[in-house]
């Protein structure tokens, strides 16, 4: 029996005329169909755009690795990046990338998490309406401004504190601190969403047992939102790894295998930005090395994003 026939039978059983039966058949709405088609097109376009980017990276990186002067093993394990003499070891660039990202996360995670806890657990509506726009302003500042801020404010401050002989003019510490300020709003926003998703009943139960608001936030809310917080941190790391202008302006302009934060060193993105602005001949080995480094950076960020999804799926708490 169809829905329409069942509705007519119910109407007859209730003594109602058949004309009053509601028409439950699906109706085609042109506006919704157009919106659905546009959304589907946008999704397909984003997928094919990603595929196109990956294809170009792989195609050009293959030209780099097919050169007799380069091997994948040397690229991934070599300790010297000097294209002029045929040395293409990416570890100096990788080390600088992870060092600046680590410094940035040391700044962004504690301050971002503290801001998220305050906004989620302590702030009233008035304080939240003031603080959240300020965080959004930090997120909207162009990264080139952060680069010059690191170079003209953070670096002189570090040189005054630790000495000009210890801190170079271009150093990874200043770039990492500025990067942490840049990432802070992202981590604060994502962490606040994770904390706000924890049911209020857990907080009330903790308060009922005599816990303070701080104890509730630290021992109840944070563990309950662990998966969302971990995902926020990993997304922040991915953002730090892919940052370009801050490290290009403040970290240095030469590959250097060091983990000393006060030394100058060039990251993967900084190196790509620097040599891409030079006079590189098309299809030269240095030109193709840009795509090899881009593919390496893409692989790192993709791995971090996959790890983030795994953590969320593994430790997600479901509440009713």
* Strand ranges, E, within the chain: 81-82, 87-88
With bands split at pLDDT 50, 70 and 90, how would you rate the model's confidence at 61? confident
Q: What is the pLDDT of residues 226-262, one digit of tens each?
A: 888 888 888 888 888 888 889 888 888 888 888 888 9
CA-to-CA distance for 17 and 41, rounded, in angstroms?
Answer: 46
Residue 178 has pLDDT above 90, yes or no: yes
Residue 316 has pLDDT above 80, yes or no: no
How high is the pLDDT of residue 38?
Answer: 92
In the chain, what percentage of residues exceed pLDDT 70? Answer: 88
The residue ranking higher by pLDDT, 127 or 110, is 110
With bands split at pLDDT 50, 70 and 90, how would you rate the model's confidence at 203? confident
Q: Which residues of 186-196 are buried (b: 16+ CB within 10 A; e: fewer)?
A: bbbbbbbebbe
Q: What is the pLDDT of residues 209-228, one digit of tens each?
A: 888 888 888 888 888 888 88
How would you class 66 by CB atoms within 10 Å of its CB: exposed for 0-12, middle for 13-18, buried for 19 or more? exposed
Lowest mean pLDDT among 36-40, 172-176, 197-201: 197-201
CA-to-CA distance for 233 and 215, rounded, in angstroms?
Answer: 22
Alpha helices in the chain (DSSP H): 3-13, 30-65, 72-77, 91-117, 125-140, 143-149, 155-162, 172-196, 200-208, 213-216, 222-224, 226-241, 245-250, 268-276, 285-315
CA-to-CA distance for 265 and 81, rounded, in angstroms?
Answer: 12
End-to-end CA distance of the chain: 36
Residues near 283 by beta carbon (within 8 Å), at least 6 away in sequence: 63
How high is the pLDDT of residue 13?
Answer: 57
Q: Work out the mean pLDDT of the chain and round it to a whole number.
A: 83
**Token digits of residue 117:** 């806890």
Please report, for residues 115, 121, 131, 222, 313, the alpha-carbon distance to residue 214 in angstroms, rounded to integers and kept in the order given: 14, 9, 20, 11, 28
């Amino acid at each position: 029996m169809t829905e329409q026939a069942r509705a007519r039978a119910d109407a007859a059983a209730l003594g109602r005329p058949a004309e009053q039966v509601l028409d439950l058949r699906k109706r085609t709405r042109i506006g919704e169909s157009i919106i659905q088609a546009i959304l589907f097109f946008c999704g397909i376009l984003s997928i094919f755009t990603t595929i196109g980017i990956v294809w170009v990276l792989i195609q050009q990186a293959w030209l780099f690795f097919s050169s007799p002067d380069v091997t994948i093993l040397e690229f991934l394990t070599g300790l010297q990046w000097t294209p002029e003499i045929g040395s293409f070891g990416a570890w100096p660039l990788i080390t600088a990338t992870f060092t600046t990202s680590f410094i940035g996360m040391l700044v962004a995670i504690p301050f971002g998490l503290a801001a998220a806890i305050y906004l989620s657990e302590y702030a009233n509506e008035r304080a939240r309406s003031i603080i959240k726009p300020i965080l959004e302003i930090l997120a909207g500042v162009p990264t080139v401004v952060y680069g010059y801020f690191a170079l003209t404010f953070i670096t002189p401050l570090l040189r005054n504190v630790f000495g000009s002989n210890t801190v170079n003019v271009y150093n990874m510490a200043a770039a990492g601190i500025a990067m942490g300020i840049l990432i802070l709003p992202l981590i604060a926003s994502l962490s606040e969403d994770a904390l706000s998703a924890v049911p209020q009943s857990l907080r009330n139960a903790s308060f009922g047992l005599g816990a303070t608001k701080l104890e509730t936030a630290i021992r109840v809310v944070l563990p309950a939102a662990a998966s969302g917080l971990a995902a926020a941190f990993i997304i922040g790391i991915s953002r730090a790894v892919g940052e370009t202008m801050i490290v290009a302006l403040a970290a240095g302009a030469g590959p250097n295998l060091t983990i000393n934060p006060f030394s100058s060193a060039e990251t993967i993105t900084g190196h790509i930005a620097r040599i891409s602005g030079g006079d590189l001949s098309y299809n030269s080995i240095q030109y193709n090395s840009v795509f090899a480094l881009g593919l390496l950076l893409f692989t790192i960020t993709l791995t971090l994003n996959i790890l983030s999804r795994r953590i969320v799926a593994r430790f997600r708490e479901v509440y009713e």
